[in-house]
Structure 1
Amino acid sequence: MADRAKLWSVSALAREFGLTAQALRFYEARGLLHPRRQDGARVYDYRDHARLRLIQKFRRLGFSLEQIGEYLAQYRAGRPNAAQFRLGLARIEARLAELRQMRRELDETITELEAMHEDAQARLRCACHNAA
């Protein structure tokens, strides 16, 4: 967990997460990060650090920035209630269903390509034998 007293500059936080400064500013413009100003420069605290970790995790899982923003808003508003947890759970279940469907489609495509590959190899072997 990030040190609660630590502050990160735009460049330091971007470097730590492998992002650009523009990406951090984009997340800020979308209301996902809330840096404060210190001596005229943006600085990010441990909350921003934790939010950015969640943003990246949710992005990898395929959630939209809008969905991520809604999730983060639940925690900015205070302790989430049961309805908010149910909403989050429903979104996770929907994403799982999408990913499972994608996996089924990928498995079908792989099976078809493997069959095509075997057929092409057999035809090549046959063509080579006929040419000899």
Structure 2
Amino acid sequence: MTQTYSISDLAHELDITTRAIRFYEEQDMLCPERRGLERVYSARDKVTLKLILRGKRIGFSLAECKELIELYDPSYGNQKQLETFMQKIAQRRTQLAQQLLDIEQMQIELDTAEDRCRAALAQTL
């Protein structure tokens, strides 16, 4: 028998809210079965949620997460998905490197402003 999960089971197991899970459904990233009014999630839905959460942690947008998830094709393997993921990782690293440079420059500017303020204050005493 295939493992299934309720929305509360998934929320508890992945430490997210049920509202977050419903949001991902609204974004067409999850498609649980319905049994009456109850949502029934598959093991694949659980993996999809894990991928979404991992993508968010490393700074991917929901659109990027969705793109990566949609590239998975079990009949052909996941080569295209992995290649695209590697490209996105490289892009993210480039963005982070630029952000680090921007932060370092901002710290230099803050140090300069602070030094000027201290010098101005010292002159007033």
Query: TM-score, normalized by length of structure 1?
Result: 0.66
**Residue 100 of structure 1, CA deviation:** 0.8
Gaps of 5+ in 2: none
Identical amino acids, percent of aligned pairs: 28
- Whether 2:74 is the aligned partner of 1:78: answer yes
**How many residues of Structure 1 are paired with residues of Structure 2 in the alignment?**
125
Helix, strand or coil for the counterpart of 2:40?
Answer: strand
- 2:106 matches 1:113: yes
The structural deviation recorded for 1:115 is 2.3
- Which residue does the alignment assign to 1:53? 50
Distance 1:99 1:39 in 2: 45
State the match for 2:31 in structure 1: 34
**1:93 is the counterpart of 2:87:** yes
Shift of 1:6: 4.0
- In the TM superposition, what is the alpha-carbon distance from 1:53 to its structure 2 partner? 0.7
Instruction: Indicate whether 1:11 and 2:8 are aligned.
Output: yes
Larger relative CO (CA 8 A, sep 6+): 1 or 2? 1
Q: What is the aligned partner in structure 2 of residue 128 from structure 1?
A: 121
Offset at residue 130 of structure 1 (A): 1.9
The AA in structure 2 aligned to 1:80 is Y
What's the C-alpha RMSD, in Å, of the aligned pairs?
A: 3.0
Name the aligned partner's letter for residue 100 of structure 1: T
Query: Is contact 2:32-2:42 (8 Å) kept?
Result: yes
- Could you tell me which runs of 5 or more consecutive residues in structure 1 were left unpaired when the two chains were aligned: none
Report how far residue 29 of structure 1 moved: 4.0
Which secondary structure does the structure 2 equivalent of 1:33 belong to? Answer: coil
Q: CA deviation at 1:95?
A: 4.6
Q: Is the 8 A contact 1:74 1:80 kept in 2?
A: no
The whole-number CA distance in structure 2 between the counterparts of 1:34 and 1:70 is 15
Question: Which has the larger Rg?
Answer: 1
CA deviation digits over 1:103-127, x for unaligned, max 9?
A: 22x2332233222222223223322
